[in-house]
Amino acid sequence: MITKKYNFLFDTGAELNIFDPLIVDSLNLKKLKKGTISNGKNSNSGIQRVEINNIEIGGVQFFETVGMVWDMTKVANLVGCVKIDGIISNNLMRKAIWQIDYKNKK
């Protein structure tokens, strides 16, 4: 099994995981039916959704979850010098108890 590491933000308010198109292409994720998202003011239709068979975070494996494909460039520009590859949202976070150690970056 090949392991790749990426930089993700945790967003408990986001409903679906978000993956940058470059990650989707490199991981060869299965594309699902396109959908529509809304931020409360605007809607964007034709957003590509993907299926993630297996994702591991901190040694915990999550199976058969979904996400959407979104260009993370704007988010990365807001954060600064850290490249952001995606967002881990509540559809994955609600499946575990999380303890984040900021000091040790774990």
Q: Where are the domains of the chain?
A: 14-93
pLDDT means over runs of 10, the chain (106 residues) = 80 90 86 76 76 87 90 78 88 89 84
Give the span between the Cα atoms of 14 and 89, in whole angstroms: 5
Other beta carbons less than 10 A from residue 88's beta carbon: 21
Helices and strands in the chain: count of H runs, count of E runs: 3, 8
Q: What pLDDT shows up at residue 2?
A: 64
Task: Identify whether the C-beta of residue 52 lies closer than 8 Å to the C-beta of residue 67.
Answer: yes
